[in-house]
Amino acid sequence: MKTKMNFKRLFSTILIALFFLTATSELIAQEKKAELKDFKVIVEKTDNGIKMKSEKGSAWIDLSFSLNNDQPQALDEYGMTELKSVSENKDEKLADFLFTITKTEDGIELKGIEGTAWTELKFSLAENKKQAIDQFGMTSLN
């Protein structure tokens, strides 16, 4: 009889802990989503690199850079950067984002570091084709 009571108590404790962890992780996710600011970038894969056009949320309008396959480039709201020397300047009118972009044989790979709901995006992109991305992931070009 005692074993049955201990089992019920243990089971109840585990359920309460799971409920608490689930509720806490949902609150953190909602808080992170609330912090995201709008940005929209159009990515184009070229013969020797990448062209990017910012439609909103950044200080730059057009970026174009040479990039070998599998070589990442860090970008933030001010343009090209290095992960170890990210700008400390924060402008309330700009989205606060940081991600790396890598040209692969088949397309593009992005790793969201700050200001994105996504941590990783991979998509096929033929040369001279475009894809729009925003703080939530891939989006329409319009």
Residues 44 and 22 reside in one and the same domain: no
Residues 81 and 128 reside in one and the same domain: yes
Residues 27 and 71 reside in one and the same domain: no
pLDDT, tens only, 77-114: 999 998 887 777 788 899 999 999 999 888 999 999 99
Element (H, E) at 34: helix 2-35
Domain range for 22: 1-35
Work out the end-to-end distance of the chain between its first and last CA atoms, rounded to an integer number of angstroms.
Answer: 67
Residues 45 and 80 reside in one and the same domain: yes
Q: What is the number of domains present in the chain?
A: 2
- Selected residue with higher pLDDT from 22 and 121: 121
82, 73 in Cβ contact below 8 A?
no
pTM higher than the cut 0.75: no
The C-alpha angle with vertex 123 and arms to 118 and 125, in degrees rounded to 5, equals: 140
Residues 25 and 47 reside in one and the same domain: no
Residues 93 and 67 reside in one and the same domain: yes
Residues 3 and 47 reside in one and the same domain: no
- Residue 97: exposed, middle, or buried by beta-carbon count in 10 A (0-12, 13-18, 19+)? buried
